[in-house]
Amino acid sequence: MRRAPWWGIFGAVFVSSWGGNQFSPLLLMYEDRAHYSAVLVNLFLGVYVLGLAPALLMAGPLSDRHGRRPVLLAGLCAALVGSFLLAFGGLNPIFLAVGRLFSGVTVGVAMAVGNSWIKELSDPPYDPSGDPAAGARRASLAFTLGSGTGALVAGLIAQWGPLPEVLPFAIHLAVTAPFLWVVLRTPETSPGGVPGPWWNQLRVPAASHRRFTRVVCLAGPWIFVGAAVGYGYLPTRLHEATGSWGLVFATAAGAIALGISSLIQPLAKRLHSFDSARGLVASLLALTLSFALVGASILQQSVWLGLLANVAVGAGMGIGLVSGLLEVQRIAGARDLAGLTGRFYAVSYAGFLAPSLMAPLAPVLSVGVMFALLTLLAVTCYAVLVVRSRQHLPAVAQTQ
């Protein structure tokens, strides 16, 4: 029996997400071996967003104009360039920053274009057996599995393997290159040829929909605030508790969060409702709990509280990603699918800037105060989201 074509794009999103997250568990390594400051190391995460955000905003509409295939191929090429710079640039901060920039472009293209392509290939006639939620579930799973694999491979090599500054990225180069051929052979679902200047295609009318602006955009950023704080920022603050096992903890934190995120996605499908925002509400509740646990973990220098915090991070991420993508697919319809998917991820990935903002505040605010404020802000957004979810905003595509 021939495998459904969505598998090829699932794999392309998988390796793109791998490339985006393989850097996270290496933050401690760069601090220890290159003696970079915590502020500089966390700025490497922020540079990633500078590549990610424009790609998220531009790649989807451009793929509506020119087709999914050429834009996703460009994203895979960016993945190869990024990993090459990270592998062979040594510990030069310029090479690291530019490599992270290209990694951000890769993930932006994969999220906006790859996820939309998976959705289209999960519907008839490409996959007659797919259910209405299959596209969102598969796209979210490709992202979380790829992110988890990248963190796991890089972290284990950094702790016990040879050439830790080179080998994780070299492996990623080897697994990514074949997907150029796979993407070339996958059926195109968006023929392109949209008339008018290309910059007109960057407009996404569905982005002004009330459900998107008042519900999805409120919950979205917290998904990646949780990720950035749980397995990006937290491991750099547990030096006393982890000692020489810091890289192992960073790897375990990322693997737990992303593993839980993958496992909980079938539940996320059941939680979601188009008549309310209960899926996004549940996601924000789990993430709010994770912030309190991260703060307690740092204050008590507790590895176990840190791992438990990442269980909550994973639950919030998994539910939030699936529910958010289902909202986007319902709001956008076929015309704005890639564009609105990109907008959703652009809003959500803004949360990755959290460590870059928190690191300079650390000398001014105590850990307890900083995480109390973060938790309070999340609780406030949670309360607003609960109120709005009861308004049963319509989920049909419109531009009100």
Query: If you average pLDDT over residues 356-367, what whole number do you get?
Result: 80
Write the DSSP string, 297-345. Answer: HHHHT-HHHHHHHHHHHHHHHHHHHHHHHHHHHHHHTTTTHHHHHHHHH
Query: If you average pLDDT over residues 339-357, what whole number do you get?
Result: 83
Q: How far apart are CA 185 and CA 181, in angstroms?
A: 7
Each domain of the chain, given as residue ranges in start order, spans 6-188+202-389
Residue 354 has pLDDT above 50, yes or no: yes
pLDDT digits (tens, 9 = 90+) for 285-342: 999 999 999 999 999 999 999 999 999 999 999 999 989 988 888 888 767 787 888 8
Query: If you average pLDDT over residues 81-102, what whole number do you get?
Result: 90
* pLDDT (0 to 100) of residue 133: 77
Residue 400 has pLDDT above 60, yes or no: no
Closest CA relative to residue 325, chosen from 87, 140, 96, 121: 140
Contact 146, 24 (CB under 8 A): no
According to DSSP, residue 213 is labeled: I
Q: According to the CATH classification, is domain 6-188+202-389 in 1.20.1250.20?
A: yes
Q: How far apart are CA 326 and CA 320, in angstroms?
A: 10
Q: Residue holding tokens 């040829």?
A: 193
What is the chain's mean pLDDT, rounded?
85
Q: Residue holding tokens 């922020």?
A: 46
The three state secondary structure string of 159-193 is HHCCCCCCHHHHHHHHHHCHHHHHHHCCCCCCCCC
pTM of the model: 0.81
pLDDT digits (tens, 9 = 90+) for 113-160: 998 899 899 888 888 877 777 888 898 899 889 988 998 999 899 888
Q: Considering the chain, what percentage of its residues have pLDDT values greater than 70?
A: 92
